[in-house]
Amino acid sequence: MVLFDGSSHFFDRIVESIRIVLLVYIGVLLRSSIHHHPMPRRATPSFSSSLSSLSSFAAHPATFWSITIVLLLLIAVLVCLQRRSSSTVSTPRADTFASYPTADNNSTYDTTLSGSGSVLPSFPTHGPPYEPSKYTADPYVQNSHNCYAYAMDFYDPGLARRCKSLLTNSGRKTCYAMRPKPGKASRTHQHLPRHYRMTCPKMMDGVLGDVPGAFEASRDAQCPSNHYKIAFAVDPHRTYHFYRQDADGGWSHKDAWRPVTRLDASGQRIDDPAVADREYSHANLSDFCGYVCVPSQGYRPTHLR
Dump pLDDT digits (tens) for 213-242. 999 999 999 999 999 999 999 999 999 999
Which range of residues forms the domain containing residue 27?
Answer: 9-85
181 pLDDT higher than 90: yes
Q: Are residues 35 and 179 in the same domain?
A: no
Residue 290 lies in a domain: yes
In this structure, are residues 208 and 227 in contact, taking their beta carbons and an 8 Å threshold? Answer: no
The confidence score (pLDDT) of residue 165 equals: 92
Q: Select from 46, 61, 85 the last residue of a domain.
A: 85
In this structure, are residues 256 and 283 in contact, taking their beta carbons and an 8 Å threshold? Answer: no
Mean pLDDT of 182-203: 93
Q: Where are the alpha helices (DSSP H) in the chain?
A: 9-36, 47-57, 61-85, 133-136, 139-144, 147-151, 157-170, 194-197, 200-210
Residue 99 lies in a domain: no
Residue 122 lies in a domain: no
Q: Are residues 166 and 51 in the same domain?
A: no
Q: Are residues 58 and 186 in the same domain?
A: no
Report the number of distinct structural domains present in the chain.
2
Q: Are residues 166 and 69 in the same domain?
A: no
Q: Are residues 171 and 234 in the same domain?
A: yes
Q: Select from 54, 85, 116 the last residue of a domain.
A: 85
266-283: per-residue pLDDT in tens? Answer: 999 999 999 999 998 878
Residue 42 lies in a domain: yes
- Evaluate if pTM is beyond 0.85: no
Q: Are residues 276 and 141 in the same domain?
A: yes
Whole-number Cα distances in Å, 51 to 2, 54, 147: 44, 5, 53
The confidence score (pLDDT) of residue 251 equals: 94
92 pLDDT higher than 60: no
Q: Are residues 196 and 256 in the same domain?
A: yes
Q: Are residues 142 and 288 in the same domain?
A: yes
